[in-house]
Amino acid sequence: MIIDDQLKQQTLQYLQLLESEVVFTIDVDDSDASKNLEEFIKEICDLDSRLSYVKGTLERTPAFSIDRKDHEKSGVVFAGVPLGHEYNSFILALIQVSGRAPKISDELAQSIKNIQTDYHFITYASLTCHNCPDVVQALNILSILNPHISHTMIDGAVFKDEVEAKNIMAVPVVYANDEFFLNGRSSLEAIVEKLGISDNRKYDDFTQKLYDVLVIGGGPAGISSAIYAARKGIKVALVLEHFGGQVIETLGIENIIGTPYIEGESFANALEEHLRKYDNVDVLLERQAAQVQKNGAEFNVTLDNQVILKSKTVIIATGAHWRNINVPGEQEFQTKGVAYCPHCDAPLYKNKDVAVIGGGNSGMEAAIDLANVAHHVTLFERSDKFKADDILLERARNLSNVDLLTNAQTEKITGQNHVEGLDYQQNGESGKHLTVDGVFVQIGLVPNTEWLNGDSVSVKLNDHGEIMVDKYGATNIEGLYAAGDCTDSSYKQIIISMGSGATAALGAFDYLIRD
């Protein structure tokens, strides 16, 4: 049995949304992967009489296409069994192919339908990747809405030869018409813009408003700020790339008081669900702030698409990103063996040797996670002792395929077309080399404040680039607040970020009523 009883019950509920009959065309052989795929499709078809399958020839084996019966081809293909994080992608594609419209704006749908260029997209993904479904689902929508477009999702763990031939060592990676198109998380709106189709008129309603509070950032601090501001009954705008921020890249969270354990993606979904309950918050997804300027008593916030929003106060909660080790080979081999998300990319390193750079909690968690799939893991800590919690350190030490090195500093990442090893020094002795297939960098975070340079207001930063705030979350600019990992808070924790977001919102509201 491929689909367990719980998943079957959930699927039965989704299948009530089917609009018409759907036919799967499967291409299988005698391999175990093909047997699993055929069994998967059989089990799905057994759940609803409107579903059936036939055998045919597709570009890859094993694979299956999804098409409405007696209708033109949808162009949607899954190469591999879409379980794990991709099961939702499969269910959404199935329902949308049947005729149910995707939940996108009419303007965006029309923009997609107007595309006249032929595109065949291929997404290389892994079933454990939490960044992949957004991309897969977006490209499936393009394919379903426009006959000029087709899309194939490829499970990199099944099509290893193809992945290795393209030197893909981090997912998602998307090709368009056999040319590299993008890698990493992206949204439908961002992909459509990348295809050269954009219309800023959809922002007209936002640009005509004067907000009371404008929040920049979609992580725990940003969402907390927006919710606390919204609860005051004032006009709020939230500018964000995606919900969750860095939380999305956390496999498990065990330190939210009252919630013993929750996965990062689930927590991000909960943040969005909570925020959406407030109808006085305008949400601008897949957008970044490019500039903040003060014009009298108001702020002008320029977005990355040159749209300008106006607000009485602004809360910056842009979080942080992974710190680079800044050695030769790091930039050259990104997505070719240098990675930053073990939860996303671990399946690509099955039975391979990998290195983890960083001996803090993130590095130790990465080593433990990778040890489940990799042949061997070597962790490098540049100082003489590990910074990780004792419980994580003890767990890593008990793993037979994990080596923990102290006083070890990476000097260079080596290889030809992909990572093949790294040079390092230990205890001051250079010239050491380790052969590895991948390097996971986990050495902490850098605040996302570089965009404040240039023509933005002169926000005071410390030597680490963090925004300096007082106990109310206020910066040195009147009416401008900040929260979360982009600030000089002593500790970078989810629960602390949420608290600082609430503080900044309350501080901004207090400023508004006193001004």
| Cis status of the peptide bond prior to 62, with omega within 30 of 0 | yes
Structural domain includes residue 80? yes
Known binder of ligand: residue 348? no
H-helix or E-strand spanning residue 374: none
**C-alpha–C-alpha distance, residues 302 and 315, integer Å:** 14
Query: Closest Cα to residue 486, out of 512, 510, 506, 460?
Result: 460
The answer to whether the CB of 71 falls within 8 A of the CB of 29 is no
Residue at a domain's end among 390, 411, 443:
443
Residues 218 and 343 in one domain: no
**C-alpha–C-alpha distance, residues 435 and 355, integer Å:** 9
Structural domain includes residue 332? no
Known binder of ligand: residue 502? no
- The pLDDT tens digits for 179-231 are 999 999 898 988 998 998 876 777 889 999 999 999 999 999 999 999 999 99
Residues 95 and 151 in one domain: yes
Known binder of ligand: residue 359? yes
Query: Closest Cα to residue 317, out of 213, 197, 208, 458?
Result: 213
**C-alpha–C-alpha distance, residues 241 and 451, integer Å:** 15
Known binder of ligand: residue 501? no
Residues 391 and 477 in one domain: no
Structural domain includes residue 464? yes
Residue at a domain's end among 127, 161, 194:
194
Find the CATH number of the domain harbouring 430: 3.50.50.60
Q: Three-state SS for 456? A: coil
For residue 276, what is the DSSP state?
T
Residues 388 and 300 in one domain: no
Question: Could you give the C-alpha distances from 363 to 368, 438, 505, in angstroms and in order?
Answer: 9, 14, 33
pLDDT at 248: 84
- For 350, the token pair is 């099955």
Please report the beta strands in 375-453, taking only residues with DSSP state E, as ranges in sequence order: 376-380, 402-405, 408-415, 419-426, 429-435, 438-441, 445-447
H-helix or E-strand spanning residue 53: strand 51-55
Known binder of ligand: residue 264? no
The owner of tokens 């020094």 is: 425
Structural domain includes residue 17? yes
Q: How far is CA 142 from the centre of its chain?
A: 20
Residues 422 and 474 in one domain: no
Known binder of ligand: residue 358? yes
Known binder of ligand: residue 223? yes
Structural domain includes residue 333? no
Question: Could you give the C-alpha distances from 463 to 157, 291, 292, 446, 460, in angstroms and in order?
Answer: 43, 21, 21, 12, 10
Residues 292 and 256 in one domain: yes
How confident is the prediction along the chain (515 residues), in pLDDT tens digits per residue? 899 999 999 999 999 999 999 999 999 999 999 999 999 999 999 999 999 999 999 999 999 999 999 899 999 999 999 999 999 999 999 999 999 999 998 889 999 999 999 999 999 999 988 889 999 999 999 999 999 999 999 999 999 999 999 989 889 999 999 999 999 989 898 899 899 887 677 788 999 999 999 999 999 999 999 999 999 999 999 999 999 998 887 767 888 999 999 988 899 999 999 999 999 999 999 899 999 999 999 999 999 999 999 999 999 999 999 899 999 999 999 888 999 888 788 888 999 999 999 999 999 999 999 999 999 999 999 999 999 999 999 999 999 999 999 999 999 999 998 999 999 999 999 999 999 999 999 998 899 999 998 788 899 999 999 999 999 999 999 999 999 999 999 888 999 999 999 999 999 999 999 87
Known binder of ligand: residue 227? yes
Q: Three-state SS for 238? A: strand
Residues 107 and 219 in one domain: no
Residues 233 and 143 in one domain: no
The owner of tokens 């600019």 is: 477
Question: Could you give the C-alpha distances from 149 to 68, 75, 307, 377, 422, in angstroms and in order?
Answer: 16, 7, 29, 41, 41
Known binder of ligand: residue 360? yes
Q: Count other Cβ atoms within 10 Å, centred on residue 472.
A: 13
Count of domains for the chain: 3
pLDDT at 407: 97
Q: Three-state SS for 358? A: coil
- The pLDDT tens digits for 476-508 are 999 999 999 999 998 889 999 999 999 999 999
Residues 81 and 183 in one domain: yes
Structural domain includes residue 58? yes
Structural domain includes residue 326? no
Find the domain containing 392 and state its range: 338-443
- Please identify which of the residues 67, 132, 282, 344 carries the catalytic annotation: 344
Residues 291 and 144 in one domain: no
Amino acid symbol at 464: H
- Please identify which of the residues 132, 341, 369, 437 carries the catalytic annotation: 341
pTM of the model: 0.79
Strand partners, 180: 175
Q: With both helix axes pointing from N to C terminus, report the angle between 361-371 and 390-397 in degrees, rounded to the nearest 10.
A: 30
pLDDT at 236: 99
The owner of tokens 């710190």 is: 323
Known binder of ligand: residue 374? no
pLDDT at 14: 96
Known binder of ligand: residue 482? yes
- Please identify which of the residues 345, 369, 437, 486 carries the catalytic annotation: 345
Known binder of ligand: residue 406? no
pLDDT at 417: 87
**Pairing relation of β-strands 210-216 and 173-176?**
unpaired
Q: How far is CA 184 from the centre of its chain?
A: 7
Known binder of ligand: residue 265? no
For residue 248, what is the DSSP state?
G
Structural domain includes residue 437? yes
* Sign of the C-alpha dihedral computed for residues 102, 107, 108 and 113 taken in this order: positive
Share of the chain above pLDDT 70, in %: 100
Residues 64 and 128 in one domain: yes
Known binder of ligand: residue 317? no
Residue at a domain's end among 194, 229, 260:
194
- For 116, the token pair is 């006249």
Task: Label each residue of 309-321 as H, E or C.
Answer: EEEEEEEECCCEE
Residues 430 and 461 in one domain: no
Find the CATH number of the domain harbouring 40: 3.40.30.80
Residue 129 appears among annotated catalytic residues: no
